[in-house]
Chains A and B, each alone.
Chain A
Amino acid sequence: MTSKASITATQLMMLAVGSSFMFPYTFMPILNAPPANQDVWLVLLLSIVYIVIMCSPILFIANKFRGLTVNEITEVILGKFAGKLASFLFVLLFLFCYAACLSMAAIFVKIAIIPETPTWAFIAFAVVPISYATYKGAGTIGRLATFIVPFIMFTIIIFFLMGIPQIDLKVLQPVFADSTFLDINKGALITSSRLTEKTIFLVFSYFLIKEANINKTFIKALLLYNFFYALILLPTLLVLGVDLAQNAFNPYFVYTRQVHGYDFIEKVQALNTLAWFPGLMLKLTLYNFMGCYMLSGIFKMKSHKSFVIPFSVLAAVFCLIPAINKADIILTLASDQIFPWIVFPFTFVLPLILVIVYLIRKKKLDNILQYIKQHDLSSQCLLLENFKNDGNK
């Protein structure tokens, strides 16, 4: 396995928040989630509850098996074969997310920014830095997040403040009248299902320094994410209006195009792109890393590095398939009917199965965990073999 890098709680928080920003920043799916009207901000508020619920299995496992890699956790809980299968399912999720997000980014770039640039060129220039950062490992990705994410946050705050004079609060009226509680819950469920960043806590908790508390980091990340999501959503909604925002391919980009101040600050949407691109790189790097890292665990490789380029090539090939490289296909893929329901089984159901199996085999697994703690072991090979040997004795 890869030699263990360490990341701080702040780095983990920045990773999760920065990666989560990219969906609202790119195409803001919450606008079209039920009830798809002026009450979407209520959906955002309620989604906090759903995210906590959906993340609880992952957090439970991450806390319980702290110090083990995600591959080790799955194999300890489910056994060797089922554990590898579960790990492989996670790999498929990361590959899908990597390819899907790369496709969405390519389509956005082609529609709104540089339409004459061929998709392959964009993908090639994106995949190289992504692969390089992935190659460098978790520590580098964590440090990268502490540079990129504050800059994204800074642009969000600036765009929010500069958009205030154009805000029309009447857009939010009537509040909770055109939608039912069920609609809001449906929207919150879909919005939180879409969040693949829950898995970051599962994979990266292994790299987290001992002093850091996973739950606290998660709560801070969740609040920060929702706060900044609100700073993205509200001005977009209040300046563009519900219908125009819903109809725009990239509502936040359209909003930033309206921002102007005094007589000289105008056409500042370039700042949006300037923050969006590294943010996207970070998100894709995370998927690439998590996929490669888990693959290396499945195949008992010393390092994830040998999987980095094949993983990127696979994703790039997927994006370049002519049948997929179309705006309507990508929109369907990213829609509420497809994307959340692909992600949901991997980010909630699979971890929930792990929790249930753990609870069934609690006694045995607790013994293993105690053994690990006593012997300060972290490698699965050592863990299982030593435990078996000790058991035989």
Chain B
Amino acid sequence: MSKKLLVILECILILALLTGCWSRKEPKNMSMVNSILYDLSPSGETQVMIEVMHPTGEGKKAGGSTGDTGSGDGASAPMPLVFEGKTVAEALRNLSKNQDKELFGGLNQARIFSEKLCKQGVGPILDFFARDHMTDETPLMVVVNDDNPKRIYTCSTGMSDMLGNYLSSLSDTQQKITCEAVFVTSLQFFKDYYTDGQQPVMGLVRIEENTESTNGDQDQPQKPYIIYEGLAAFKDDKLVGYMNGIETRDYNMLTNNFKITAISVPYGNDFIAVIVKKANSKINTELQNEQIKINIKIKAVLTIIQEYGSIDISQREVIKQVEQEFNEFLKSEIEKTIKKAQNEFKSDIFGFGRFFHAQHPKEWQKIQENWDEKFSKAQISVNVESSIIMEGEIKIPFTMEKKVNDK
């Protein structure tokens, strides 16, 4: 009997443990962060602006209280106040002076940085991300190229309810259509930052004013919108410049992060639009008399999707010519892009240093420390080989077919 009593007592004691632990976090007491903007105040302190989920959708109804600076679509309710601190940790804790719930960063989708902050260096903030147990490495890292980066929270977020979700959706959809942007997660940035012979990049956002009225109401001010295109190049933890969409497309090809894109190749007086379905780069490095030579070979697979009618692409010789044109076109584009990184950024964002390390490990030990300098003086040679595998669902160009019929 006493044994049974002991077992019952044990069960009751065990039940007491089921209530949870000291560090339990109740969702009802938490503010789920969707995106955070990091900026610098005029006095040089760190500013944070946080977009939190509003589980009741109150932001939509209240509008004025939290929706003034929000995207205004409802659930999105970024903090109306910006908090400052000497460090990010201090600024985030200062937020609690206004926020009644504890911040939870585990569902954060995007870390957005102002240009000013990135030029000063993001290293200390990265340290916070890597050290704090509530932050993780999945959010996207984005730079806002705008004088007033906080404006990003006033932008239209398309079909998404919050900015963080919007940027996350873009990373899913945009890469399936074009490769003119980079979607860099915090993990990828950390890795590139740590890796010798590779400099990190971040995604780039531009804010455009919407001057066109879509609903016919001229008095109603239109929300600005976001253009997610290009990349922000870093040298160590400091921003050194931007690349536009075309240059970013080349960056993606060179780093083998390329998915798909459409390119209009000049041909005579017209253009031929091709879809680049695949582009793989092979990088070979050499060291000749202290001079580094980087040989890049790109193999691309193309499909023609639009032709102006001046040539008959159903013929093999013409296809060969188009391939030749494409090769020359892409080669000159890529060379320009690399030159920009060499001369303007002096930062090896393409990771050629990693290839040099792998291919010349002994020499790498000697030049590792000043690789970026060596890279900026390196001789680059690009060779593009393309093959058109399809010409679409018709054989003779549409307009040419008409001319043939007219005759």
Known A111-B133, A117-B22, A258-B138; further 8 A-B contacts with Cβ < 8 A:
A112-B133, A117-B21, A118-B22, A125-B17, A177-B361, A178-B361, A241-B191, A260-B138
Tell me whether A113 and B133 are in contact (CB under 8 A): yes
A114 near B187: Cβ-Cβ < 8 Å = no
Which residues of B are interface residues toward A (Cβ below 8 A)? 17, 21-23, 106, 130, 133, 136-138, 187, 190-191, 194-195, 354, 357-359, 361-362, 365
Query: Top 3 nearest A-B pairs by Cβ distance?
Result: A177-B361, A243-B194, A114-B23
Taking A114-B21, A116-B23, A254-B137 as contacts, is the C-beta distance between A174 and B358 under 8 angstroms? yes
A-B contact pairs, 25 of them (CB 8 A): A113-B23, A114-B21, A114-B23, A117-B21, A117-B23, A121-B22, A125-B17, A170-B358, A173-B357, A173-B358, A177-B361, A177-B362, A178-B361, A178-B365, A241-B191, A241-B194, A244-B187, A244-B194, A247-B194, A257-B136, A257-B138, A258-B138, A258-B187, A260-B138, A266-B138
A110-143 vs B: 1/0 string, CB under 8 Å?
A: 0111111110010001000000000000000000
Q: How many angstroms from the CA of A125 to the CA of B23 in the assembled complex?
A: 15
- B365 / chain A contacts, CB cutoff of 8 Å: 178
- Distance to closest chain B CB from A137 (angstroms): 20
In the complex, A341→B162 CA distance in Å? Answer: 55
The distance from the CB of B26 to the nearest CB of chain A, in whole angstroms, is 13
Chain A's nearest CB lies how many Å from the CB of B12? Answer: 15
Q: Does A267 contact B (CB under 8 A)?
A: yes
- A369 contacts the other chain (Cβ, under 8 Å)? no
Is A184 part of the binding interface, using a Cβ–Cβ cutoff of 8 Å?
no
CB of A330 closer than 8 Å to a CB of B: no
Give the interface centre of A121, A178, A266 by most chain B CB atoms within 10 Å: A178
Q: How far is the CB of A342 from chain B (nearest CB, A)?
A: 29
Considering the chains assembled together, what is the distance between the CA atoms of A116 and B20 in angstroms? 12
Q: Determine which of A121, A177, A240 lies in contact with B191 in the assembled complex, contact meaning CB atoms within 8 Å.
A: A240
Which residues of A sit under 8 angstroms from B22, Cβ to Cβ? 114, 116-118, 121
Residues from chain B with Cβ under 8 Å of A114 in the complex? 21-23
Q: Within 8 Å CB of B359, what residues of A?
A: 174
List chain A residues, Cβ under 8 A from B195: 241, 243
A180 to B163, CA, bound (A): 50
The size of the chain A interface, using a CB distance under 8 A, is: 28
Question: What A residues does B194 contact at CB under 8 A?
Answer: 241, 243-244, 247
| Least CB separation from A170: chain B residue | B354
A375 to chain B, nearest CB (A): 40
Q: Closest A-chain residue to B107, C-beta based?
A: A267
Nearest opposing residue in chain A for B192, CB measure? A241
Please give the distance in Å from B359's CB to the nearest CB on chain A: 8
A258 touches B106 (CB 8 A): no
A114 to B187, CA, bound (A): 23
Task: Assess the A244–B190 pair: CB atoms within 8 A.
Answer: yes
Chain A residue contacts of B361, Cβ below 8 A: 174, 177-178
Shortest distance from the beta carbon of A254 to any chain B beta carbon, whole Å: 7
Which chain A residue has the least Cβ–Cβ distance from B133? A112
- Enumerate chain B residues within 8 angstroms of A241, measured Cβ to Cβ: 191, 194-195
Q: 1/0 per residue A99-118: CB within 8 Å of B?
A: 00000000000011111111
In the docked arrangement, what's the CA distance between A263 and B43, Å?
A: 42
In the complex, the chain B residue whose C-beta lies closest to that of A241 is B191
Shortest CB-to-CB span from B105 to chain A, Å, is: 12
Which A257-272 residues have C-beta < 8 A from chain B?
257-258, 260, 266-267
Q: A118 CA to B22 CA in the complex, in Å?
A: 8
Q: In the assembled complex, how far is the CB of residue A135 from the closest CB belonging to chain B, in whole angstroms? A: 14
Task: Give complex CA distance A254, B361 in Å.
Answer: 29
Cα of A239 to Cα of B362 in the assembled complex, Å: 25
A49 to B365, CA, bound (A): 30
A118 to B357, CA, bound (A): 46
Interface string of A264-285 (1 = CB under 8 A from B): 0011000000000000000000
Question: Which residue on chain B has the smallest CB distance to residue A269?
Answer: B136
A247–B106 CA distance with the chains assembled, in angstroms: 21
Contact partners of A170 in chain B: CB under 8 A: 354, 358
Residues of A within 8 A of B136 (CB): 257
Query: Given A115-B133, A116-B23, A267-B106, are A244 and B191 also a contact pair (CB < 8 Å)?
Result: yes
Contact call A115/B23, Cβ cutoff below 8 A: yes
Q: Which residues of B contact A239 (CB under 8 A)?
A: 187
Residue of B nearest to A246 (CB): B194
A258 touches B358 (CB 8 A): no
Instruction: Report the Cα distance A125→B16, complex, angstroms.
Output: 12
For B187, the closest partner residue in chain A by CB is A258
Complex CA distance for A159 and B303, rounded to whole angstroms: 38
Q: Would you call B137 and A257 a contact (CB within 8 A)?
A: yes
In the complex, which residue of chain A has the Cβ closest to the Cβ of B22? Answer: A117
Instruction: Write out the residue numbers on chain B whose beta carbons fall within 8 Å of the beta carbon of A177.
Output: 361-362
Residues of B within 8 A of A112 (CB): 133
Q: What separation, in Å, do the CA atoms of A115 and B24 have in the docked complex? A: 10
Q: Complex formed: what's the CA distance from A177 to B130 in Å?
A: 30
Q: For residue B293, give the distance in angstroms from its CB to the closest CB of chain A.
A: 19
For A257, list chain B residues within 8 Å (CB).
136-138
Q: Which residues of A contact B137 (CB under 8 A)?
A: 254, 257-258
The CA of A257 and the CA of B136, in the complex, are separated in Å by 8
Contact between A174 and B133, CB atoms less than 8 A apart: no
* Cα(A116)–Cα(B102), bound, Å: 14
Distance between B379 CB and nearest chain A CB, rounded to angstroms: 22
Q: Bound state CA distance, A258 and B136, in angstroms?
A: 9
| Contact (Cβ within 8 A) B357 A174 | yes
Q: Using Cβ atoms and an 8 Å threshold, which residues of chain A touch B190?
A: 244
Tell me the complex Cα distance, A254–B359, Å.
Answer: 30
Question: In the complex, what distance in Å separates the CA atom of A267 from the CA atom of B359?
Answer: 37
